[in-house]
Structure 1
Amino acid sequence: MKDHEYKKDPIKSHHVILYVDTENIVPGNEDNCCWLGWPKNDHQKNKDWYTYVDPGEYITWIGLSISSPNDIVNITSISHEKKSNVFGKTILHGNGESPEKVIGTVQNDTDDENEQYMISFTVSNGNNGGLRNGSYRVDPEIRVRPPGSGG
């Protein structure tokens, strides 16, 4: 068998990075202190953020402090809220590592569907390990591209 006869498609994946102003965040001001995508767009709310994916792709959600290299943003879960459930599970749990992240796979039988979901996360002070003001939530959306639309 020649090299060009056997080629495996690389696994497609997306990283969704939640940027958090860990110094100023308190429950209720998530839209002011965290956002998806860089640079920050002051005119876009988190609920209006879309991640475009294809069936079978992996998504990894990770958090990043923009305030302190010592603060840890732990993505603790991804929860289905409304519309289609493109992961086939109501809740995807974090991996328990530090920093914690969540990995999900878009089901192969989904296409041209949307899902509203909730990112739940905590902020820990890296110096003493204590949580900062409890848990937080933001609610973006996933859009699965229809077949043949590219990506």
Structure 2
Amino acid sequence: MIALTQEKREELVSSLTIYIRTTETAIKAGLATEEDLFNLEVRKIALASLIAEPVMVNEDFHDAASGIIDGRFHRCGRSVTLEKVGIYEQEKMHPVYLSPPVPEIKLPSAELIKEVFLANGFKEKVQIDGSNDLNMYVYDAVLALFERLNGWGE
């Protein structure tokens, strides 16, 4: 499975939704081919993976008697709202999916890049426009690293 940025995920969800709707209309009109029917099923599976939501959340893999079902936390037969579960408890929870979702790649913002590099000894320099900032090659290098690690542009 490949990982996607949130923007790419949204773009694919939009395109798949349109394709599925269009193909279903063609089926109703009797204009769909066998290939269209196959592609429709494949695209429905892809869409389900892109929009997958957890069906429940286990507190711990060792405790199958606890989890979240329909927005409520269940433990050994007790049920409380998720808001009443402590932060510590929520950090130990693991989402459970019927089908695995497509992993998401989070790209760092320019602010985060700047914060991390300044915290690690990089210095701001006066830029052409007179502002103080890291050199642009720092931002470009970080994004190039993400591209290389994820096989983009190959």
| TM-score bracket for this pair, using the shorter chain length | under 0.3
Structure with greater proportional helix content: 2
Higher strand share: 1
Larger-gyration structure (1/2): 2
Q: Which structure ranks higher in relative contact order (CA pairs < 8 Å, sequence separation ≥ 6)?
A: 1
